[in-house]
Structure 1
Amino acid sequence: MLNRNDNCWCESGLKYKKCHLEFDKKLRDLRSKGYITPGIELIKTKKQIEGIKESAKINNGLLDLIGEKIRVGMTTQEIDDLAYNYTISNGGIPAPLNYDGFPKSICTSINNEVCHGIPSKDVILKSGDIINVDATTIFNGYYSDASRMFMIGQVSDAARKLVEVTKECLAIGISEVKPWGFLGDIGAAIQEYAESRGYSVVREFGGHGVGLDIHEEPFINHFGKRGTDMILVPGMVFTIEPMINIGGHEVFVDEDNGWTAITKDGSLSAQWEHTVLVTEDGIEIISQ
């Protein structure tokens, strides 16, 4: 245990008493009352946050580029090529490439694919498709993560509405992130809104801590109950990435590739993802 005049564990260079002493006391008090609190390993230092932000510059730039280039007739392999070339040319590494055997640099999930779609030269975008492009970048050892939806050509009113409502779900989830608030409030708000609009929320996948690795604790459910789960504290960095279906929430994973999640009833699915930082007085969106 640190003494008051020791250097703080967060590497700020300040004495513990001037930095995180009261913060740690508050966490211990909450823990003693039965609340779930994050360990120090989930609280990013100023140096780490700056590193994550530098990674996010590449990740955001990549998604901007894809937004400019994506079109009818493009293959998802061409999107993957863009991801690899842009990331490498900017000094980064595509985090998905070879992660647990994933074969590509980015995820491209179309229509009824919920997440982890694998790019292919045989998959050609056509008018009416909706596609989620999920990018994760490593830069100098730091990770950033975000995904966006793109509507290709002339899409149906139902598809457009799904994409819009899913983006609204993300915004509503982010609005629930408050220092010393509850993690469960995020999922509860997303579920309440999605279901009020007639949609369902995927249960099997969720957001996650990120920054020093591609997936860290805590897991972020996009459904649940208010006033539950971990206490959110300044310095936590994680993704919020609701996956919303037109039909039921049930999904299955493609047995052929072992990765791609698909809606069980074949209905359309959409997802938007941001990486957020909990600050002393609110939040900061890092990657989007």
Structure 2
Amino acid sequence: MELQVLVLLLFGLALGRSQDSSTADSDTCRGRMQSPIALSTARSILTMERTPLQLMNYQLDPSQVTVTNDGHTSVYSFEFPNGQVVTKQGGPLKEEYQFQSLHFHWGANSARGSEHTLDGRRYAMEMHLVFFNRKYGDFLAARNQSDGLSVLGIFLTNSTTEPDYGWISALNEVQNAGDSYVLPDPTVFNIKGLIGARRRPYFSYHGSLTTPPCFESVTWIVQRKTLPISERQLNVFRSLRDSNGNPLVDNYRELQNLNGRSVFYYR
């Protein structure tokens, strides 16, 4: 119960609702460094890594995985053996960031769903792995700091073959907003097993949380490499209900203006 309350608190405060009127009413959502944006290979600055972007401990099998329907998205929270944590460093990051949780954005059909677009294409889904700067101690303290957060974004594209994602079936247990469920076998969600070892090529820019309060605290890292997902698996996500009991679909934010920001392409 304590973990469920924590997940709901963190994401209720940090993410809110992307498609209600609060987006327009929040001053922080009218800033000039908002996300998501339209990523363009041709208009990005080709950059070399001084140090490789690395994820540490993400190969570990988790000791517990909890999925929560927070009314806006499906949030997967992880615990690892002996209190170990997953961290991210290198690439565009000047400091070490600790993994908080991951969540997804998807559409009512496979022609839309991702928050960012890439060279004019919108994908069926986008996964966000949320990290906070360790110097601030926790997510809540970091979320409104200019260097407080980093999000690793990965596109998922519709596939005719069905990948072995044993963690998706857990969504059948969290159909309604506020539901949480602990996966019986946490090892079905090994992060490295899902996203692989290679990060490049990727795009990076400074932006925001994509839902209120839209803090402009995020170093975005969006991989070019996509992951597959079948139509049947996407439909499991689409079967969820939001806080009003309506189908939980199209939970992505509209594209925001770049406003002169630089977007870097690490190839």
TM-score, normalised via structure 2 length: 0.27
Bigger helix fraction: 1
Q: Give 1 or 2 for the bigger CA radius of gyration.
A: 1
TM-score, normalised via structure 1 length: 0.25
Which structure exhibits the higher relative contact order, with contacts defined as CA atoms closer than 8 Å and separated by 6 or more residues?
2
Bigger strand fraction: 2
